[in-house]
Amino acid sequence: MTVKILSAGFLTSVQDLGRLGFRESGVSAGGALDQHGLRVANLLVGNDEADAGLEITLGGFCVRFEDERLVSWCGGDFDVYIGATALPSGHFALVRAGEEVIVNKPRIGCRAWIAISGGIDVPIVLGSRSTDLRAGFGGFNGRALRDRDTVPLGENSARAKGWIDNLHSEKIARVSASHDWVSTAKVDSTLRVVRGSDWNRFGAATHRVLTSELFNVSPDSDRMGARLEGPELKRIEDGDLVSEAVAPGTIQVPPSGKPIVLLGDCQTIGGYPKIAHVITIDLPIAAQLRPGDRMRFREVSLGEAYRLLAERNHDLEQFRVGLQLHAP
């Protein structure tokens, strides 16, 4: 079975949890910029957490279904409709054959992740169905989706089929996920960071600037990274550095002094100093930054970062168990 893309919007691509194990060969991990959100959306529609979904940037998206499916979404402050019925983030609903799902432009944030029961059934390349937009492979023919594309879907799971039968009368399920997980866009957001490997290449004055001043997101931002404008982050000494590994969340400082928050499609190594790193549970907030947004950083300890991640992982396991208990 398939879905028909009526309007692909600004940028829509197939993404899963990423392409792991190939960074030493220079292959970006990629995947959904909010992997936690995609996990939650997949669980809600009866999929495996790692199944591929759709990452939608700035809305303007519309898709028509060929058969009955469950749909859920997480992300920014979007209006999403199944026909004329509003579908809130973190809920899941039945979509019948011939119905359309519409994602309008967001009020806050810029990205949404839609999971469809059965998952997006494109070929696996290097262990993942994610689209590497820069390298041009994976996903749907290695590119962003276009109007009139026909995208293949996998088979509904047994759990999804049970929910489909139950939702013929209600349409939208009463089961939902935590608001903090599924609505991650913030006004004047704060990203918590830990010190990077090059923290000591910057003086105390620069550390105070990083953790107290507002920054603006530059138009020159994409899935590779969010470039920031604002106060200059000055190094103690200039000079070239040996290129080292970087990862999503790394904050690099180029010679201009304007920091870059690396995102999912970032390169695997870099030569700019790494002043700090966004903690894992705040990467979904970073994924919502769009040009013109204001944001700031707040330092936390590495121990606090671990504690917060362990707490979220525990809550996610509880969520999995709860869904199993509610399964038809």
What's the confidence (pLDDT) of residue 169? 87
pLDDT of residue 328: 78
- Rounded to 10 deg, the angle between the 35-44 and 302-326 helix axes is 10
- Record the tokens describing residue 251, joined without a space: 């904050």
Q: Do the beta carbons of residue 265 and residue 226 sit within 8 Å?
A: no
Cβ atoms of residues 272 and 244 within 8 Å: no
Look at residues 71, 79, 72, 75 and name the one whose alpha carbon lies nearest to residue 34.
Answer: 75
Question: What is the full per-residue pLDDT of the chain (328 aa) written as tens digits?
Answer: 999 999 999 999 999 999 999 998 999 999 999 999 999 999 999 999 999 999 999 999 999 999 999 999 999 999 999 999 999 999 999 999 999 999 999 999 999 999 999 999 999 999 999 999 999 999 999 999 999 999 999 999 999 999 999 999 889 999 999 999 999 999 999 999 999 999 999 999 999 999 999 999 999 999 999 999 999 999 998 877 888 999 999 999 999 999 999 999 999 999 999 999 999 999 999 999 999 999 999 999 999 999 999 999 999 999 999 998 887 7
Q: Are strands 80-82 and 91-95 parallel, antiparallel or unpaired?
A: unpaired
Alpha-carbon distance of 16 to 14, in angstroms, equals 7
**Residue 328 CB partners (closer than 8 Å, separation 6+):** 159, 162, 163, 165, 166
Predicted confidence at residue 58, as pLDDT, reads 97
Alpha-carbon distances, residue 124 vs 127, 138, 146, 205 (angstroms) = 6, 7, 20, 48
Domains, the chain, in order of start with CATH, read: 2-183 (no CATH), 189-308 (2.40.100.10)
